[in-house]
Amino acid sequence: MMSGLQLDLYEDGERNALADAMTVMVEAFDPAFGEAWTPGQLAGIMTMPGTWLTLARVDAMPLGFALVRSVLDECELLLLAVAPPWRGRGIGETLLRDCLTMARRRNIVSMNLEVRACNSAVHLYEKIGFEYVHRRPGYYRGKDGKLFDALSFRIDMRA
């Protein structure tokens, strides 16, 4: 793990946590692809039981975050983001592995996710052991209404 990196877990809509996640959100996602969430969407999901947000910070500065929603023994990685200047240092992988650890502690047996086809995040998911499930045509609506396919991935944590 990168030196000085701190992971903080939030299970409610703590205002500073939401603000820090939004700081990373606006930097991390290219509006061309329509993947980023609005502050309202983020605050809304955090009111749902079984949802958690993990922030990666150094010296209180937010560098990345992961957002997961769980229902019974399954969960979904909703968002994973690292601010562009901090990429390629293992922060995304640290966040994702932490989410898997967190999920196992909650007796969750699988994690699902959707990712835009052609997103380099696919390399990270495959490295961790996620398996391709199927393609969803036109899942993301980007700028100017352009549609992008999503790929579904899943990891079985009992394997």
Ligand X SMILES: CC(C)(COP(=O)(O)OP(=O)(O)OC[C@H]1O[C@@H](n2cnc3c(N)ncnc32)[C@H](O)[C@@H]1OP(=O)(O)O)[C@@H](O)C(=O)NCCC(=O)NCCS
The type of residue at 106 is R
| 81 versus 108: smaller Cβ distance to ligand X | 81
- Restricting to residues 71-110, which ones interact with ligand X according to CB under 6 A? 79-82, 87-93
The residue sitting closest to ligand X, measured at its beta carbon, is 92
Q: Verify whether residue 114 is a known catalytic residue.
A: yes
Q: Does residue 11 have an active-site annotation?
A: no
d(CA 58, CA 143): 32
DSSP characters for 40-51? Answer: HHHHHHTTSTTE
What's the closest the beta carbon of residue 57 comes to ligand X, in angstroms?
14
Residues of this chain, 114-153, that bind ligand X according to CB under 6 A? 115, 119-121, 123-124, 127
Taking the least distance from each CB to ligand X, the nearer of 93 and 149 is: 93
Spell 83-122 as b/e; 16+ CB within 10 A means b. beebeeeebbebbbebbbebbeeeebeebebbbbeebebb
User: Taking CB under 6 A as the criterion, which residues in 24-43 touch ligand X?
Assistant: 28-29, 35
Euclidean distance between CA atoms 99 and 117, whole angstroms: 22
Any idea which residues carry the catalytic annotation? 114, 125
Residues found near ligand X in the complex (CB under 6 A): 28-29, 35, 79-82, 87-93, 115, 119-121, 123-124, 127
